[in-house]
Chain A
Amino acid sequence: MKNKYSIFSLIKNAFSGHENWQRAWRDPEPKKEYDAIIIGGGGHGLATAYYLAKKHKMNKIAVVEKGWIGGGNTGRNTTIIRSNYLWDASAGLYDHALKIWEGLSQELNYNVMFSQRGVMNLAHNLQDVRDLKRRTHANRLNGIDAVWLNTEEVKKFCPIINTSPNIRYPVLGGTLQKRAGTARHDAVAWGYARGADEMGVDIIQNCEVKGIKRNGVEVEGIETTKGFIKTKKIGVVAAGHSSVIANMAGIRLPLESKPLQALVSEPVKPIIDTVVMSNAVHAYVSQSDKGELVIGAGTDSYVSYTQKGSHNIVEETLRAILELYPIFSRMKMLRQWGGIVDICPDASPIISKTQIKGLYFNCGWGTGGFKATPGSGDLFAHTIANDEPHRLNAAFNLNRFVSGDLVDEHGAAAVAH
């Protein structure tokens, strides 16, 4: 049984110089066989293992991770959480996640620093205004909070935005989702890892999957750098490397993996207390609790697994940021990095069974997977445990690329793709 984190445990450990904290999860060697194996120890994978153990009472579960947990896109994103998607299927999926976020710190007994500071999406031309107003109406019909703000209201909500009508892409208004916000990304991985570990899930780090063993149409186990592990159910949550794993299993996915960049500035005093996104000029910005501006840039246009990204992409984003926020013109950027995002043709994820029995994929989250972490884990666990999708992820099956029933969120969501 793990020690519960509380103000009392904090005080108690302060007296012993913080040297007696219990480790948050074990570092086990893989067993010979598991009931289910999750490939990928990011937020989504760890959440999947957590809900498999908690809600579906499966007790022999392993998460295998080639590096360290949360070292991929979980630790590389800009931590934005929102659910203001246009289509019913997406709204259901992302708002399911948002509802879990609202109670997640309590549930995990781990402070994920979920902060509902609001997310504002700006409109810069007449088509933006029409699209975003339409999305606001669609959101409200789906029970998701959304309001339209005119230019003055945008300025009032975030005073540092340049709302002059004379800039290249003037701010004509925007939408606001107040329940949206940010969370501490590492804490999400660590919180789920600690919770899953407590229920007996083996989290096996530095263990790379080298092959998937199949017996005809059924999976039998995985070949790893730590040997063969037998299992009847494999859930793949490998983000940018999903196609690599799919190739091992001999199936094809409709994905392309591209570098997506983010960068942070030097830390400054609080200056922006919300998240502002602009699709048209491709700039989004928020401020971390440490005081850094967290800036999200775009994807490169070509397939790459390099986790770097091109300089011109950063340049475009910073150009837009400077026009919208002239106050940042003297800021120095501290760090820049890339993560490999797996993008579906319709910019919606895949949480699905495959034609191989016992092989499940949770992928295609593209540029916006972090926000969905708890919901994605919950629904993927349901899909694996029952061998059937949940009502909320039924539309996100792999077969939609054959049937043509796509969930086309490319231009429709407020996302910057």
Chain B
Amino acid sequence: MTAFKFSKENEERVKEILTHYPPDRKASAILPLFELAQRQCGGWLPKEALEAITEMLEVSLIRGYEVATFYTMFNLKPMGKYHLQICGTTPCMLRGSEDLKGVCQRHLGIENKETTKDGLFTLTEVECIGACTNAPVVQINDDYFEDLDEKSFLKILEDLKADRPVKPGSAIGRQGSAPERRRANAKGK
């Protein structure tokens, strides 16, 4: 890969981000700039981007590398177009996240931390992403897909493969984290 450069659009954004911090503390901009670069590079942070940003912020390379390895949201290897982050923590696990992993294994042929050959999907099992009421939850890029089961998850994967639009949120049509069925008292009435 050749030297990394922010796109014209992002360059404006970089300028704007840098105004958030005093000039002698511009090192603080490292997280937003890494994030911006990761978006520009298709979901991962190449070495070249890391080097360019640390140089821009006058931070030593190793300090930047420490930051990039500390935060799990920065990916230092090429990622698929869609990053499937399946929550595997207890509530999601009880509600069937293992089945969702099975879908990835059977239909995409990937295990945890692997990418499909067509470069479309990368699977990562993550810890709680804070949407337990709508478990099981999968985060695909920036969106949460909730209340999934094997069928609805597979449909989403198929739609993504075919480049059809998908609808984030609950797969069973519930609003936010409202009760799944109609309101009922303890006796079910």
The judgment on whether A and B are partners is no
Q: Which B residues lie at the A interface, using CB under 8 A?
A: none
